[in-house]
């Protein structure tokens, strides 16, 4: 509406416009109401102060029309706020399938970023401009929250499951101080909480490719490590890659598929489902199979679990 207050950080993602519009709209409506109500209150307090101007005693006790008006109008305003908020929220919850995926791990007190080919970084998260970016996030200890003000996104990181964020950066970060958009932890997580700062570096696709290409020779990509573990941890003895049913279900086309169980509600095989299945297969038994898969809880570290998930995701239908 009027944009009375200009305090928001630079708009650098496709969300920014809509988030700011909503923020300004709510602030403007609240400001107008506060000013109007205060003005009327002051006017009445002075106009009808005790003394010779005292209000004559009145027989009016209520006014139905007035009450309907001041109930219906605020209700419409509230429902409208909810509606436009929900509209953006729905999109924010649904990352597009073609997004570039980057892993984020929060720990006391810092961040680790893992790119698709196994390259890692910690002080700077580097992303290509103009493309959707999906962050698959997890904490290795307490709750943290990943906050990039210029992208207008923030989401908690938990220790027991993955959470997601996605955004499309609209401008590169060249012009920013330090060449990066600031990243903060927004969940109080201990003494060095305020030290959990990093930078989001938004670059061209070509620069991004160069950046992820520079990596140590011995580092395996998550996919390569996943393939190695698939053999070494003997998943291969019970899970095929070609669609055939062995002791366990095939990994072919598993990611994103609907799963049915001997007990309980069906589920979609997303990252959280795969993680639970790998660590604790006995929790939900896939219909048509026996509960014979060993629990890998405690036998695989986070990096290995992420690698197996990447490997399963790569087995396209």
- In the complex, the residues that contact ligand HEC under the rule CB under 6 A are 233-235, 237-239, 247-249, 254, 259, 269, 274, 277-278, 281-282, 284-286, 289-294, 296, 308
Smallest separation, CB 265 to ligand HEC (Å): 14
CB 306 within 8 A of CB 114: yes
Which pairing describes strands 153-157 and 198-203: parallel, antiparallel, or unpaired?
A: unpaired
- DSSP one-letter string for 252-279: TT-TT-EE-BSSS--EE--HHHHHHHHH
Residue 218's SS3 state is: coil
The minimum distance between CB 219 and ligand HEC, in angstroms, equals: 21
Contact 295, 280 (CB under 8 A): yes
Name the residue nearer to Cu ion (CB basis): 105 or 168: 105
Nearer residue to Cu ion within complex by CB, 153 or 196? 196
Give the nearest distance from C-beta 237 to ligand HEC in angstroms: 5
CB within 8 Å of 157: residues ≥ 6 apart: 104, 105, 106, 137, 138, 139, 143, 144, 145, 146, 163
Distance CA 225, CA 67 (A): 67
Please tell me whether residue 144 binds Cu ion under the rule CB under 5 A. yes
Closer residue to ligand HEC, CB minimum distance, 138 or 239: 239
Question: What does the alpha-carbon distance between residue 252 and residue 10 come to, in Å, rounded to a whole number?
Answer: 44
> Which partner, ligand HEC, Cu ion, none, binds residue 185 by CB below 5 to 8 Å per kind?
Cu ion
144 binds, among Cu ion, ligand HEC, none (CB under 5 to 8 A by kind): Cu ion
Chosen from Cu ion, ligand HEC, none, partner binding at 233 (C-beta under 5 to 8 Å by type)? ligand HEC
* Smallest gap from residue 196 Cβ to Cu ion (A): 5
Count of residues that bind Cu ion according to CB under 5 A? 4
Q: Is the CB of 127 or the CB of 189 nearer to Cu ion?
A: 189
CA atoms within 13 A on the CB side of 94: 6
Q: Determine the straight-line distance between the first and last CA of the chain, rounded to whole angstroms.
A: 48
Least Å distance, CB 104 to ligand HEC, is 22
Q: How far is the CB of 94 from ligand HEC (least distance, A)?
A: 22
Beta strand pairing call for 124-128 and 198-203: parallel
Q: Among ligand HEC, Cu ion, none, what does residue 203 contact (CB within 5–8 Å per kind)?
A: none
Residue 196 exposed, middle or buried by CB count within 10 Å (0-12, 13-18, 19+):
buried
- SS3 state of residue 33: helix
Q: How many CB atoms lie within 10 A of CB 105?
A: 22
Binds 285, which of Cu ion, ligand HEC, none (CB < 5 to 8 A, cut-off by type)? ligand HEC
Binding-site partner at residue 196 among ligand HEC, Cu ion, none, CB < 5 to 8 Å by type: Cu ion
Tell me whether residue 104 or residue 308 sits nearer to Cu ion (CB atom). 104
Tell me: does residue 137 bind Cu ion (CB under 5 A): no
Strand pairing report for 100-107 and 133-139? parallel
CB of 205 to ligand HEC, least distance (A): 33
CB atoms within 10 A of CB 35: 10
Given the complex with ligand HEC, which of 126 and 269 has the nearer CB atom?
269
Provide the mask over 163-202, with x wherever binding to Cu ion is found by CB under 5 A and - wherever it is not.
----------------------x---x------x------
Return residues touching Cu ion (CB under 5 A): 144, 185, 189, 196
């Amino acid at each position: 509406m009027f944009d009375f207050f200009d305090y928001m950080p630079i708009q650098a993602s496709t969300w920014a416009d809509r988030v700011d519009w909503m923020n300004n709209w709510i602030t403007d409506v609240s400001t107008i109401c506060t000013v109007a109500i205060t003005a009327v209150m002051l006017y009445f307090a002075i106009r009808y102060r005790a003394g010779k101007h005292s209000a004559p005693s009145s027989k009016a006790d209520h006014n139905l029309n007035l009450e309907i008006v001041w109930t219906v109008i605020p209700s419409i305003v509230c429902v409208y706020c909810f509606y436009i908020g929900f509209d953006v929220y729905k999109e924010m919850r649904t990352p597009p399938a073609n997004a570039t995926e980057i892993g984020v791990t929060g720990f006391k007190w810092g961040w680790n970023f893992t790119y698709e080919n196994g390259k890692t970084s910690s002080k700077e998260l580097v992303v290509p401009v103009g493309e959707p970016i999906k962050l698959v996030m997890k904490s290795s200890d307490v709750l943290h929250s990943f906050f990039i003000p210029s992208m207008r996104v923030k989401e908690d990181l938990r220790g027991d499951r993955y959470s997601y964020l996605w955004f499309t950066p609209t401008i590169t970060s060249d012009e920013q101080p330090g060449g990066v958009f600031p990243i903060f932890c927004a969940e109080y997580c201990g003494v060095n909480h305020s030290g959990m700062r990093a930078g989001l570096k938004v670059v061209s696709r070509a620069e991004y490719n160069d950046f992820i290409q520079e990596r140590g020779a011995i580092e395996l990509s998550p996919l390569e490590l996943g393939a190695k573990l698939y053999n070494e941890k003997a998943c291969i003895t019970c899970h095929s890659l070609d669609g055939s049913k062995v002791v366990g279900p095939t990994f072919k086309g598993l990611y994103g598929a609907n799963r049915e169980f001997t007990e309980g509600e069906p589920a979609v095989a997303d990252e959280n489902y795969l993680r639970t299945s790998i660590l604790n297969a006995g929790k939900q038994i896939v219909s048509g199979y026996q509960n014979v898969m060993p629990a890998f809880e405690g036998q695989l570290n986070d990096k290995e679990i992420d690698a197996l998930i990447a490997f399963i995701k790569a087995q396209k239908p």
